[in-house]
Amino acid sequence: MNIDLIKKYCNNACTVEELNLVLKWFEEFKGTPEEKELLLRVWEETPDYVEIDEPDFEFILDKVHHRLKPGQTADFNRENIRKNESFRHYFIRAAAILLIPVLTYSFYMTFKYQSVKKVRSSELQAYNEVFSSVDAITKVTLPDGSNVWLNHSSSLRYPSFFQANSRIVELKGEGYFEVAHNPDVPFIVKAGDIQITATGTVFNILAYPEEDKIETSLISGKVELKMPEPGSNGITQMKMKPTDLAIFQKTNNELIMRTVKDDRYFSWKDGKLVFNMEPMGEVVKKLRRWYNADIQINDPSLLDLNYTATFVHETLPQVMELLALITPISYSISDRKEMKNGSFTKRKIILSHRR
């Protein structure tokens, strides 16, 4: 605080800002030596000045503070406050009017930037697609460290790198998944009409396009089966636990849950074909893919037969011979024929009921 500003106050010549400063100084007067010296100098120049042997600073402060006539001070304060409030309201309204288009433009540019960034990121995202041949099992290691084994005639499509909040792959055929644990970023497998969501889990999915069903067997961890829904992450249909087998029927969108405690649904990963009371129709489907052969059932009564067997290194003729030993079937195998383009036809096997 300085003496000139207090003199302006005494002469009722302060601006609103100066008035506020002086009033605040009076209000917060602490009686420091500097403040007392300044107050005495002002007091000595007032018409009310009386020399005092022992200065009474509370008396002096009160006199200087109320140097203006009460009515003048009140009117001055009210008028300046009124003007100040009027200016403040005007400024707020003007700022709000100016701010609306600024904020609108800002939101628009932010949205546009994020949209362009998202599209550009999507455009720049490269995808890999791995195909497993008709007579091989293929292992794939994904960018997050997850491992996938693809059965015969299967494919997996996945990004060259996973986004920060997304791990999504697409499966056609059959795949055995060992998912790297990451509870913050779920691992999603899109398989035809369903998607399987996991965080760090081991599971098997059978989803050949020509099949009328999609099978998911859980070995460890937890998974959720969801039906894709536009604009969302899908609707959860089922939560699975280890030993659960979920069968999704494509024809009626029905989900069936079973418990399976053996490895028949994922033993193929280790080069084994396991059947446990499997009906002939299922046995033939698996043999077709495993040996890339055209197998036909000539007699519908064979569909009533069930098989329990494990095949590891056997050839297709050896498998057919073993099946004929334990059930009343006969079979014929045709040799492959070379086509004009240099490729070979599939071996054809016809199964009949042995009389």
DSSP secondary structure of 317-336: HHHHHHHHHHSSEEEEEEPP
Closest by CA position to 205, among listed 236, 174, 242: 174
pLDDT in tens, 79-114: 554 545 554 555 455 555 555 555 555 555 555 555
CA–CA separation, 204 and 218 (whole Å): 6
Q: If one looks up domain 272-353 in CATH, what number appears?
A: 3.55.50.30
304 by DSSP, 3-state: which? helix
Q: Please list the ranges in the chain whose pLDDT falls under 70.
A: 1-3, 6, 9-12, 16, 22, 25-31, 33-125, 228-234
pLDDT in tens, 207-248: 999 999 999 999 999 999 987 665 555 677 889 999 999 999
Is 0.85 topped by the overall pTM? Answer: no
* Domain 127-259 class in CATH: mainly beta
Domain boundaries, the chain: 3-68, 127-259, 272-353
CA–CA separation, 52 and 184 (whole Å): 79
Q: Which pair of tokens denotes residue 78?
A: 């009210």
